[in-house]
Amino acid sequence: MTDEKTVLVNDKPVSLTKKEYELLIYFITNQGKVLTKEAIADNLWGDNADMANSLDFIYSHIKNVRKKITDAGADDYIKAVYGMGYKFTQQD
C-alpha cells in the first residue's frame, strides 16, 4: 500500500528498507518493461547514482527484495533479462 508504505504478502507485513520499497514500487509501476541498472539507479538515487564506480549495488537491492518477498510466500516476479536489465512480470 503506497499511502502507508507497507507491503503485505498473504496479509502479513514484509519489512523493507526505504530503498527496497522504492525499488519494488518502481518495478510494479513499470510492470512488463525491461529496466536497465542505469534506469533503476537514476530513478532511486538521482544525480548521486553518477558517483558510483559500478552499479553492482543494484543487484544487492534486487536480491534483498526478492528474498524478503519470496520468504513471505509470494512468487518471484522480478526476472533478470540477460544483457539488458530486470523486468517485473506477474504470472497468472
The CATH code of the domain that includes 70 is 1.10.10.10
Is 79 a domain residue? yes
Is 41 a domain residue? yes
CA 64/CA 66 separation, integer angstroms: 5
* Prediction pTM value: 0.83
Is 1 a domain residue? no
Long-range Cβ contacts of 20-23 (<8 Å, 24+ apart): 20/61, 20/64, 20/65, 20/68, 23/61, 23/62, 23/65
pLDDT tens figures, 60-85: 999 999 999 999 999 999 999 999 99
pLDDT tens figures, 24-54: 999 999 999 999 988 998 888 776 655 556 6
Domain tally, the chain: 1
Structural domain range at position 81: 7-88
